[in-house]
Structure 1
Amino acid sequence: MASMKDIAKLAGVSTSTVSHVINKRRYVSEEISERVNKAAKELNYFPSALARSLKMNRTNTIGMLVTNSTNPFFGEVVKGVERHCYEKGYNLILCNTEGNHTRMRDSIDTLMQKRVDGLILMCSFLDGEKFESFDRSPNIPVVVMDWGEINFESDKIQDNSLHGGYLAGQHLIAHGHHKIGCITGPTSRYQAQMRFTGFKKALSEAGISLNPDWVEEGNFECNGGYDALQKIIQKPEQPSALFVCNDMMAMGAINAAHEHGISVPNDLSIIGYDDVHLAKFITPSLTTIHQPKFRLGKAAVEAVLQKINKSDEPYKVVQLEPKLVVRNTVKTI
């Protein structure tokens, strides 16, 4: 593998001149720069990222940990992270936990061993966890996305799920619905709790009682919404509308309704949450609460880069606001 010394010999210049040209640290005449670049090309020379990172004590790499899910929500957030990393001259190493607690801890250790400059964590097993890796490397900034209480210092980027659930309940009530149910996310998950709490707040303010027969817990996946609706339609009385706490479960619920001859929205109105890209392309297109996924990813990168460049910055919480997206799954009664 060619070195700077080889380039210097072929170009007839000093090794330090080659370094100035390759690293663009000092002005070198156009004629000499051309000779150096031509020699580098002939020798198939590529700068060593490892050598540069050891010299500068920075790898220009950010690690990201995500929970495994068929939910395209995660992919849309990662897209925002990757795009902003690229624009800022950083590489992204992405690790998937596949929903496994041990793999999560091993992945964090691996990313720390790779000497990443910062970490972005989006993982459902963080609540209450303490990581020895963070204690050993206290100068590596960590940003946590969209989760609940954590036992280590970190910036947090999150969607205002409480307000999002409230908007969903308000929308159904505004369309004349009083017999309203809910398919929640996993009740152990912070965001699921907040969406359900916001939804119940809207009902309470309108003087509407929530029938427990119309509340089922899902898993944030399509099959969770499908199974939950199967249970709800077995109850003695049926709701006229459902708040389903994410779009994937809403799609599963719509599929189950279709199998049972229940028309959405004529027989049952449904509102989802997240506004994934697929939501507007199903039939009928899904009314939902938009979560700013791309901006969540961008905000996480901005937060971790700010910490990398200004390590003494105080930790903060950045909260992005959801908004209602009206389509075709809610009927006025």
Structure 2
Amino acid sequence: MSTKPRSAATYKDIQRVTGLSLATISKFYNGQNVLAENRRAIETAAAELDYRPNVFASSLRRGSTRSIGVLLPSLQVNFHLSIVVGIEKYLRGQGIGVLVTSNEFDGTPSNVDAVDLLRSRRVDGIISVPAMSDSSALASAVAAGVPVVTVDWRLPGLDADSVSLDNVQAGRVSGQHLIDHGHRTLGAIVGEPTMWSLEGRLQGFLAATTGSGLEIQSDHIQRAPLSVNDGYAAMMRLLSADVRPTAVFTANSELTVGAVIAINDSGLRLGHDISLVGFDALELAQVTRPKLTVFVQPVETIAAEAARIMSGRLDDPTGAGERLVRELPGRLQIGGSVLARHE
């Protein structure tokens, strides 16, 4: 025997229970003043009826859904998911909902454009960790008046606010730490040239080496897609080089994990035979022996700043002014994976 689901309660149901006018009930749910006894009657009836206001419909009537789209290149990377958590944490306090999507599904490209999907859901703005393939769709959103804030990656020509780590500082501090410990034959594992954030980290790393009068061999700069397997392969190439680096900087968390596994498999001792400064990978840093030295980006602060900028754009949608560009400093968390060499 099937039971018919009970339909959702409406204003008319509350009117039937309380005897109040629809105008009074509407005023209450739109935040206007009503008599105390009427407020108590409405709240009691709503609890009995399990009435839940349709916030989406109310927002549409006001011309706003009070929702933000978050666009990610992948739903399988810890950094991206941490960004979502930080954005949602900030915006929930502002009464703004979050809709998360990606142009990738199970590691393969989706056949539905994620930006178009978000716009079809009438989001008030988009916070994006963009891929190059998102550039055109995001530009169209901006042209249509949709506020856009990019995180971790600045797309050329996109008229949008931006929040990221100070990537040049990250690479420079990491490289200088290796140099200060006496290392002169250095290597780095970084992303492809199109990866804006990792390219900045490489620039900072090379600035540190150049400033110290060091020249890096071309085969000591290994470029790889951002995956554990590719980080592993890149580190193995460095370890098998004719002149092996004594110290390496890995510019991304997945690359760091792969590099550590490669060192373990090679039989070399981390912090003795080979030194390493990793990136993020905080959980890994706690379980390696010795503990891994890593550069840490302030993910929660980056996410909150992106959400704060977006909230400001929604509060003043007609506000003029230059686009905001925020580059936030990170910090080096010292472990024991960098050997001090005495020449």
2:28 alignment partner, one of 21, 24, 41: 21
**Which residue of the partner structure matches residue 9 of structure 2?**
2
The answer to whether residue 270 in structure 2 is matched with residue 289 in structure 1 is: no
**Which residue of the partner structure matches residue 278 of structure 1?**
283
The answer to whether residue 329 in structure 2 is matched with residue 321 in structure 1 is: yes
Contact 2:83 2:299 in 1 (8 A): yes
- How far off is 1:151 after superposition? 3.0
Match of 1:165, SS state, is helix
Residue deviations 1:6-59, cap 9 Å, x none?
Answer: 211220111111123333311322x22222222222222211123201221111
Contact 2:285 2:294 in 1 (8 A): no
Contact 1:61 1:118 in 2 (8 A): yes
Contact 1:286 1:328 in 2 (8 A): yes
Q: Distance between the aligned counterparts of 1:43 and 1:142, measured in 2?
A: 40
Q: Distance between the aligned counterparts of 2:101 and 2:335, measured in 1?
A: 35
Match of 1:231, SS state, is helix
2:312 alignment partner, one of 306, 316, 321: 306
The answer to whether residue 182 in structure 2 is matched with residue 176 in structure 1 is: yes
1:77 alignment partner, one of 68, 72, 83: 83
Contact 1:143 1:156 in 2 (8 A): yes
Q: What is the percentage of aligned positions where both structures have the same residue?
A: 27
Contact 1:109 1:133 in 2 (8 A): no
Q: Distance between the aligned counterparts of 2:126 and 2:137, measured in 1?
A: 15
**Which residue of the partner structure matches residue 230 of structure 1?**
236
Structure 2 alignment gaps of length 5 or more: 1-7
Contact 2:82 2:300 in 1 (8 A): yes
The answer to whether residue 127 in structure 2 is matched with residue 120 in structure 1 is: yes
The answer to whether residue 299 in structure 2 is matched with residue 257 in structure 1 is: no
Contact 1:307 1:313 in 2 (8 A): no
- Report the more deviating stretch, 277-286 or 262-271: 277-286
Q: Distance between the aligned counterparts of 2:186 and 2:163, measured in 1?
A: 31
**Which residue of the partner structure matches residue 186 of structure 1?**
192
Structure 1 alignment gaps of length 5 or more: none
Contact 2:71 2:115 in 1 (8 A): yes
Query: 1:119-198, aligned counterparts within 5 Å?
Result: 119-125=126-132, 129=136, 131=138, 133-134=140-141, 137-138=144-145, 140-198=146-204
Contact 1:169 1:199 in 2 (8 A): yes
Q: Distance between the aligned counterparts of 1:107 and 1:149, measured in 2?
A: 17
Which one-letter code corresponds to 2:116 in the other structure? D
Match of 1:219, SS state, is coil
- How far off is 1:137 after superposition? 2.5
- How far off is 1:124 after superposition? 2.3
Contact 1:62 1:119 in 2 (8 A): yes
Q: CA RMSD in A?
A: 2.1
- Report the more deviating stretch, 193-202 or 91-100: 91-100
Match of 1:281, SS state, is helix
Which one-letter code corresponds to 2:124 in the other structure? D
The answer to whether residue 227 in structure 2 is matched with residue 239 in structure 1 is: no
Match of 2:308, SS state, is helix
Q: Distance between the aligned counterparts of 1:169 and 1:126, measured in 2?
A: 32
- How far off is 1:227 after superposition? 0.5
- How far off is 1:296 after superposition? 0.7
- How far off is 1:130 after superposition? 5.2
Contact 1:130 1:151 in 2 (8 A): no
In structure 2, relative to structure 1, the CA distance for the partners of 1:322 and 1:136 (3 Å cut) is: closer
1:109 alignment partner, one of 84, 109, 116: 116
Residue deviations 1:197-245, cap 9 Å, x none?
Answer: 1101100111111012222112222112101011122221211100111
**Which residue of the partner structure matches residue 330 of structure 1?**
338
